[in-house]
Structure 1
């Protein structure tokens, strides 16, 4: 399967946008006091320590894919 550079750039941007949106939404809910307790704390901890960085890394990897011109 071949992908165009623009498709991979779009995929990386989509990963970054999803990460940013989820970060904003979780922060807004927590800041407004609408989401509190053990579930919220566990999600925030998992998000910060286990999920967010790998998403950012994945976006970087997709951006850095080398292209061979045929």
Structure 2
């Protein structure tokens, strides 16, 4: 399971790096991009915590965290 998560994180970092490159933006340090990719795990942790506390809250918390990630 850890291998799948690491591959997903690597793909996320690669996608962010390619997006920045294609937009012609300034060169961002790799560790900054890795840290930004880690914010997705915060939303997932909140959604799982909401699922543990109130079972149906997952269906409200998950879209909310996705929208927050899209705005940031």
Q: TM-score, normalised by structure 2?
A: 0.39
More helix by share: 2
Of structures 1 and 2, the larger Rg is shown by 1
Higher relative contact order (CA 8 A, sep 6+): 1
